Structure 1
Amino acid sequence: MLRLLTLLTTLISFATFSAPKSELWQYWDSSNEESTQTIAHQSWQTFIDRYVVVEGEHHLVNYKAVSQADKRALKQYIQALSSINPREYSRAEQYAYWVNLYNAITVDLILDSYPVKSITKLGGLFSFGPWGDEVIHINDKALTLNDIEHRILRPIWNDPRTHYAVNCASLGCPNLQTSAFTADNTQALLEQAAKEFITSTKGVSLIEGKLTLSEIYDWFAVDFGTKQQLFEHLAQYKGELKSYSGKVNYEYDWSLNDAK
């Protein structure tokens, strides 16, 4: 009976999974472009330097090796960001703030449940992952990871490269970058992340004329425009797609981005 319940729960979770729409949370659509204040992300950079491992086309996290002190430091970094009012900062500072916060919270959630085979195992009994759970309070407002990605980052910046910036702790996901985002390096990092993903087999695989794309391009097709616009985007980094006109398959690997 337990095995049957587990199977049914898994099937329901996969069947009901769908990518949230981009719907602006108006409250967060505010900034101070005259501000010269910066937000410190050195704690997050230190964590990345210690525990992100580059193996081939994957950037893996050595979750098992994270010390108790560094787990506490990560939580302190997240807490520090939660005490900031991002609306008082420039748009450039805000973007780095939200991306780093999203990625740090994701890693923290994995560490709290480690060992775990996939982030999709987190969340409630009938949940597909933790994305709908309240994970932080900012300005006395409770936020989920879905809020950060789909109600703040996507609708405010309207940049499809955001999908290469936020990391879902899975092998199929665009890599967790080896540099924390800052107002100064965001554009360079977004370009780097896009190139890494599109030239990797997990992003775009063209073998003997058969094209397989990451399901990101199916789930968030609206962000990349028409099929022609999508291929123009992909061709910027993988030129052989300029003239592709055949069938497209989609795949995604939800296995944890764990450094063994």
Structure 2
Amino acid sequence: MKKIIIAIVTILTLSQVNAQTSVFNDLLQKYVSNEGVVDYTSFKADEAKLDTFISYLQKTTPSSSWSDNKKKAFWINAYNAYTIKLILKNYPLKSILDIKEKGKTAWKIPFVNVGGKTYTLDHIEHEILRKTLFDPKIHVGVNCASGSCPKLGNMAFTESNVEAELTKLMKAFVNDTNRNKLSTKKVQISSIFDWFKEDFTKNGSVVDYLNKYADTEISPKARISYLKYDWSLNGK
């Protein structure tokens, strides 16, 4: 009997996760273009639906029984949903850098409520995703709502799609000539590869990492420089 009850609870929990993720997915499909440009004006008019997803996050604590992919998908979705919420709260604005509360930047404001606990965006990215669910591809999953960021994907992450979608986003990012300029002997790349170099060089050099996704074969001796970061809002 106990096993049956556990099975029923598991099925109901999974059903709720899928249903709520579907709400977020629908919003992203509706208001984020294939290029990652967000229609914040229209999104603002539909903010109540985003609040429905955020309400789910507030009541949900990832279980230790969840797979790493399920946890990864959950926390990336949480990061992105709350980032969008913060932008909408302060909209219109030119840059996420314009957001300050009590002297704290957007990433250090304790406003993210997940499972009844309060976090900052920085805590989710650095302490949860980078430390406990390490994967360099999370850097194209979490979105900083800015021009030079890897594009915001117009789909919600799930346990079953997170690996494939992060790979797809990383490949698109590396080969995006607006964000990285690659050639055999010289590369001008996003500052993300400099800021988080330790993540991208766990198993080789930055060039080794780039070559896993680049359409252009880069020489190990290629000259590397980093592009200036565009912090303008990723909106229409």
Mapped pair 1:50 → 2:30: yes
Aligned to 1:66: 43
Asked if 2 retains the 8 angstrom alpha-carbon contact of 1:202 and 1:213, the reply is no
Matched, 1:176 2:152: yes
Would the aligned equivalents of 1:231 and 1:241 in 2 still touch at CA under 8 Å? no
Corresponding residue number in structure 2 for 1:102: 79
Report percent identity of matched pairs: 33
Alpha-carbon distance in 2 for matches of 1:239, 1:197: 11
Deviation at 1:67, TM superposition (A): 4.9
- Cα distance per residue 1:150-198 (max 9 Å; x no partner): 0101111211011011111011111111221000001110110110100
- Deviation digits for residues 78-123 of structure 1 (CA, Å, limit 9, x no counterpart): 1111101212551322111101110011111111111111111112
SS at match of 1:171: coil
Q: Provide the aligned C-alpha RMSD in A.
A: 2.1
For residues 207-251 of structure 1, give each alpha carbon's deviation from its aligned partner in whole angstroms, at most 9, with x where no partner exists. Answer: 695421101011001101169432111111215343152432212
Runs of 4+, deviation exceeding 4 Å: 207-210
2:189 is paired with a residue whose SS is strand
Q: Which 5+ residue runs of structure 1 have no aligned equivalent?
A: 1-34
Alignment-derived partner of residue 234 in structure 2 = 257
- Give the 3-state SS of the residue equivalent to 2:159 in structure 1: coil
How many correspondences in the alignment? 220
Alpha carbons of 1:192 and 1:112: their partners in 2 closer, same or farther (altered >3 Å)? same
Contact 1:205 1:212 in 2 (8 A): yes
Task: Give the Cα–Cα distance (whole angstroms) in 1 for the partners of residues 165 and 204 of structure 2.
Answer: 25
Matched, 1:131 2:100: no
Change (3 A) 1:155 1:226: closer
State the TM-score, normalized to the length of structure 2.
0.85
Structure 2 portions without partners, runs of 5+: 1-9
If the length of structure 1 is used for normalisation, what is the TM-score? 0.78
